[in-house]
A and B are shown apart, each in its own frame.
Chain A
Amino acid sequence: MIFGDITVLHVDDDAAIRDLTAEFLEAVDDTIDVRSEPDPNAVPARLDAEPLDCVVSDFHMPECTGLELCSAVRNEHPWLPFILFTSERGEELAEDALSRGATDFVRKATGTHHYTILANRITIAVTRHRAIQRLREVDALPNGWPPAAATPDRETSRTSESEPEGGFDS
């Protein structure tokens, strides 16, 4: 099902942010169910054990960075939507995240609007991923596509780098 409910694993070491993110994402979009995880090292096991559609990760965590987690996830789940959700500034980080296989990069901003942006990006990433999986199932993808070293939507992925503070009003 391409447009079904979405189960997200949100990884952040801060308990308040885990609860806030779950609260606001589920309030913005009632098709999104958020599960939380404080320990990035536990993510691979959770991906193996639970039917998760997307990983959303903070950047700064005591155990490892969000970029390191992205690389670890990509080893076993090359196409699973992975979104870096951070208050870190700098175009370099966004580029690094995408080059490591992150599907998208959403920057936190003052207030709560960035949770709406994140919900939209999750929906877009998961819907696109499901559509590609469906095409793969009916053998409708060209041979060798998507390339193994890239996420399926790398070429068209839009990052928050070009957005105004607080993102677009989409």
Chain B
Amino acid sequence: MTVASLASAPIAPARRNLHRFANPGRFLRLAGRVLPWLAAPGVVLTAIGIVWGLFFSPADWQQGDAVRIMYIHVPAAWLASAGYAGLAACSVASLVWRHPLADLAAQEIGPPGAAFTALCLITGSLWGKPMWGAWWVWDARLTSVLVLFFLYLGHITLIRAFDNPERGYRAGAILALLGAVDLPIIKFSVDWWHTLHQGNTFSLTGAPHMYITMIYPLIFTTLGFSLVFAAIVTARLRAAVMERRIRALLLARAEERVA
């Protein structure tokens, strides 16, 4: 194969689709259309789930009403991990395909991801105190989620620590990929070690270890929080793309004046 034929070789469909949305104008239009469809159902589902979980779902026979904390804690825990998985996926897209929006997306996922991880840790602590008699234990599940929180903070700091943003993005992407090792540790920590934290309630093969009337509000809050999280990240990314264009325009004007 000659160099000329390599240069004119068609781009693989997956890569072409991935790069279609690298165009800021196209991304902004798509994000603008998608955003209301993420935000509105997200808020409605979350509101239904919260009211259902707080007032209408049954109390647990052992834990009593403290089990209602689950309807906040579990979606926050899911999004802590899912957000970091998204961060790692953006890092792959940045390092492998050099996707222009991947770095910005990783930058914008970090703060809400860290906030939801903190929410998971705090609500877990508020649930643990009445159930275990302690605000915190150095349990494998709790500790691995705390490590995830520090990974988020490290990523947020590292990506903004360089004068040259490209170097910050690259360092952040490498940290995000290395930190992704923590995700399976979080998931399987309750199987690999004896933990005070309860085991997995849901599995792909078995029936859930939970009463069905508790599962419904949990599904509502989990779906609602997920859509709200997606809406937050989309809105932040949309703002970041516009801010980048503003910076570029102001820089071009400044250069024109100097010239």
A and B assemble together: no
Which B residues fall within an 8 A CB radius of A?
none
